[in-house]
Amino acid sequence: MPLETLSPSRASDFKLCPQLYKFRSIDKLPEPTTVHQARGTTAHLALQNLYDLEPAERTPEKLYDLFREAWTEIRGEEEFLDLFTTMEEERDWGVDSMKLLANYFSVENPLEVHPLEREMDMLEPLGDITIRGILDRIDETPTGELIITDYKTGKAPPERFAEPAFFALKIYALLIREKLGRTPAEVRLLYLNGPTLYRLAITDGQLDAMNQQLQALWKAIDRAIESQTFPPRVNKLCDWCSYQDLCPAFAEVTAPAAAVG
């Protein structure tokens, strides 16, 4: 079945490794939920809710309360039910999460942040293709510039390895230009573990090039779906892939050893 929509994350998957795209988007294979993913989901919800408050109320203590409330809200969902084996383990996870959230205030002053949208649901046509996604946050500065921010709860990679994350953010910048008719001035990756803030200035030329790249990616995915050809692409992120045991690239490596045994 040809593509109907494509998200920035799935576009990144295909660009990184077509086989990864197949596992996630075609086969829809589940991935185990980790404590790190639970922390990321809860922290995103807490930071989203922080900006429902008046600026003077956006304190560390309030953010911790919002994290506790968010976890209480989602901890009963199926994907999180068996995440912790003991209450002590869950409590330690919560304490570590609070320490991570404390880092946020050393990167941004929430009194000075003016979000236009948070968790912005986007579905935008770009010519013959349609891109969908959820944008963490977009702000407008006092001088009228648009800034896109993406929260990350994991540890920041060296900046030269942040390109895949910036790739997705440049797609969101393109969608904002299509939706609002304004080009964002900058995209930011805010890593709470560190903390670290990576920034990338955006130009119309970059977004024009991204549009062309997305059109080409869409056609490449359609061809892959039609031919059922999704070659694995071994890369530096393979060690963190949930599907390594199923991946043909690693099956080829382990097969000779298995045969000898």
Average pLDDT over residues 21-34: 93
Which pLDDT score, from 0 to 100, does residue 252 have? 58
Which pLDDT score, from 0 to 100, does residue 235 have? 85
Which pLDDT score, from 0 to 100, does residue 261 have? 41
Burial 147-182 (b: 16+ CB within 10 A, else e): bbbbbbbeebbeeeebeebbbbbbbbbbbbbeeeee
CA distance 253 to 150: 36
CA distance 255 to 232: 16
Answering whether pTM is above 0.85, one says: yes
Which pLDDT score, from 0 to 100, does residue 222 have? 96
pLDDT tens, 151-206? 999 888 888 878 888 999 999 999 999 999 999 999 999 999 989 999 999 999 99
Which pLDDT score, from 0 to 100, does residue 95 have? 96
- Look at residue 224 and tell me whether its pLDDT is greater than 90: yes
- pLDDT-derived band at 250, boundaries 50, 70, 90: confident
pLDDT tens, 111-121? 999 999 999 99
- CA neighbor of 234 nearest in space, from 221, 252, 219, 218: 252
- Look at residue 43 and tell me whether its pLDDT is greater than 70: yes
- Look at residue 254 and tell me whether its pLDDT is greater than 60: no
Which pLDDT score, from 0 to 100, does residue 253 have? 53
* Contact (CB, 8 A) for 25 and 11: no
- pLDDT-derived band at 78, boundaries 50, 70, 90: very high
Average pLDDT over residues 38-67: 97
- Look at residue 42 and tell me whether its pLDDT is greater than 70: yes
Domain ranges of the chain: 35-110, 114-224, 231-260
Residue corresponding to tokens 């996630």: 24
% of the chain exceeding 90 in pLDDT: 84
Average pLDDT over residues 226-244: 90
- pLDDT-derived band at 34, boundaries 50, 70, 90: very high
Q: What is the CATH number of domain 114-224?
A: 3.90.320.10
